[in-house]
Structure 1
């Protein structure tokens, strides 16, 4: 039986993670305007994270920095996107990739849109580097900061794309993982849960989004929120942990 690997989330206080994290299921969309066919989205059945769950997502001794999900609060001196860009540049990845800014209205179950089509892919993996299965763990993490004024949520699958590939492909070793593998996984009725983590204005996250299916959501919010994002190779703990 294939072992499924959860997200590896850096946290100090399990109750602080539970206070801002829900868990729920997913569903697939077909022939829904504005979405790719087969897009995987939240089912909307959110419930509090069970008391024994934070430890399931704790990093192990073999968790690489490139595989870690981190949450942080910006320094108080960083109040706009220009100051944020200067800080990101200062922190030392000469090959970082700027992904720009996105201003999302409230009430969006998933926020990401494909630039080429304008459609929403739903839960997806980033594929900027298009790395094959053996090298997928070396991809840059995605850095995303919420500049407000509203809050939003980061959505994270509890199963990574390499585990999904081992389930849906016989010759996964030479495969280039992509979002279609996740959709195939759901079509085979394999279990998948989704974490929903609140990100308030002035807070941000780092996550291995080339490995861990994700999206963001403004569902249930009253205000829009602006984000700025980069792809970076950073060591862990460059920012003080939020939780």
Structure 2
């Protein structure tokens, strides 16, 4: 399964999305050794790739990416059974990726979350994460187009018994396997819902000012919060 993103207007998606490849970082003290980051340059999202991102009805809600705006999110979406407020984070300006290793501050690059502690067979069933950009700056969500189950099948003989990890993504890239990276612009008051346990991802403030973001985990139905695209 690959990255699937819900949209109704291809032009609206293309107006805020770009694509590039990735590379593994070596010898840059800002990043963990082997961290996977966008390689650049960013290119427009062409019609063919945009159409391949569109999900059909066989795609379950819990692996779908959606782009939303805060004003369409009711309070009932932010609390209740299975919904967990993760808190807020401030991202420095002009950073190609934003998530640090909280032990030493080095940036992780594209990575996988593990809030739900799921094994390989269950990794696609995790909760999705809701993120809202609180501003003041614009930010991006970065998304890899291969899911972690596919990645583990490629790099691990014991994939069926493993617990997928960011190290599997790094091994995949180090071995020369391709990964597209999509970035989607999120202005203040805009956000995303994404399967961050399942897809390589990170935030970015490349070329932008500092911004803060708020995060929740939950199980929201497709289209429950409307769509920006």
Name the TM-score, length of structure 2 as normaliser: 0.95
1:226 aligns with 212
Please state how far the C-alpha of 1:122 moved relative to its aligned partner.
Answer: 0.4
1:81 aligns with none
Extract unaligned runs of 5+ from structure 1: 79-83
CA distance in 1: counterparts of 2:203 and 2:78, whole angstroms: 24
2:78 aligns with 89
Name the TM-score, length of structure 1 as normaliser: 0.90
**Any conservation in 2 of the 1:35–1:121 contact (CA below 8 Å)?**
yes
1:125 aligns with 112
Name which of 1, 10, 13 aligns with 2:9.
Answer: 13
Please state how far the C-alpha of 1:87 moved relative to its aligned partner.
Answer: 5.1
CA distance in 2: counterparts of 1:89 and 1:214, whole angstroms: 22
Extract unaligned runs of 5+ from structure 2: none
Give SS of 1:195's match.
strand
Name which of 28, 36, 40 aligns with 1:40.
Answer: 36
2:184 aligns with 197
Q: Over the residues paired in the alignment, what is the CA RMSD in angstroms?
A: 1.5
1:157 aligns with 144
CA distance in 2: counterparts of 1:96 and 1:114, whole angstroms: 24
**Any conservation in 1 of the 2:78–2:85 contact (CA below 8 Å)?**
no
CA distance in 1: counterparts of 2:91 and 2:205, whole angstroms: 7
Please state how far the C-alpha of 1:28 moved relative to its aligned partner.
Answer: 0.7
The CA deviation string for residues 152-198 of structure 1, in whole angstroms up to 9 with x for no partner, is: 11100011111101111122111111100001001110011100110
